Chains A and B, each alone.
Chain A
Amino acid sequence: GAVVSQHPSWVICKSGTSVKIECRSLDFQATTMFWYRQFPKQSLMLMATSNEGSKATYEQGVEKDKFLINHASLTLSTLTVTSAHPEDSSFYICSASEPNQETQYFGPGTRLLVL
């Protein structure tokens, strides 16, 4: 149980294009989903927290107009990197937690390379 998927697993795009990453909880309903960014050989940096049906809460320094997050259902959250630039290249990981549960379950990650 508690499986989280991400799609795509990797994506290469041209600078200036937008990229959408999906995060799905496969066998549970996730009222809260989290988006992290991880640079090579570094720890995870929380970007934003999204609750189903409401606006995401962004961490300080994360541009909400750059990283659009939508949590339209209890099993799906999307992260759209708008007008991507090479500095946005990174490993993006989502996680999800069940209602009233204190454990986050992580997706396999999406590697984004912007050329």
Chain B
Amino acid sequence: AQSVTQPDIHITVSEGASLELRCNYSYGATPYLFWYVQSPGQGLQLLLKYFSGDTLVQGIKGFEAEFKRSQSSFNLRKPSVHWSDAAEYFCAVSPANAGNMLTFGGGTRLMVKP
């Protein structure tokens, strides 16, 4: 069975600082990989996704993620965090070419200090 681990439950960074949110997955083959963001009381917004090809993926709001097969990781990064980035971030995986059944990580809550 596939699983997703987000090791950091909470992260606090200063505004303007760089950010990296970790995501590790366990799956027999290379899955499809996603990052979603959830603001309080809201649904999830897709930040970016990786299906194949270039392992560095650019997303919305200045976010990027890098797929590293050797480490089974798909970490999310942003060079300079804005106060509006404070939210909950979810990494998710789904089987490639086998439907779109998502398995979510536990989430990482990002807080931004002024």
Contacts and interface: CB of A to CB of B under 8 A. Distances in A.
| Interface size range of chain A in the complex | 20 to 34
B90 interface: yes
Contacts of A106: 36, 43-46
Interface of A: 4, 6, 32, 34, 41-44, 46, 49, 91, 93, 95, 97, 101-109, 111
Interface residues of B, number: 23
Contacts of A32: 99-100
20 contacts: A6-B43, A32-B99, A41-B109, A42-B106, A43-B90, A44-B44, A46-B101, A46-B102, A93-B43, A95-B44, A97-B100, A102-B94, A102-B99, A103-B49, A103-B100, A105-B46, A106-B43, A106-B44, A106-B45, A108-B42
Contacts, number: 51
A8 to B, nearest CB: 13
Interface in B57-114: 90, 94, 96, 99-102, 104-107, 109
Nearest to A109: B43
Q: Is chain A's interface secondary structure helix, strand, loop, or mixed overall? A: strand
Nearest to B9: A41
A32 B107 CA distance: 24
Interface string B22-48: 000000000010101000011111100
B107 A43 contact: yes
B43 A108 contact: yes
Which of B44, B90, B109 has the most chain A CB atoms closer than 10 A to its own CB?
A: B44
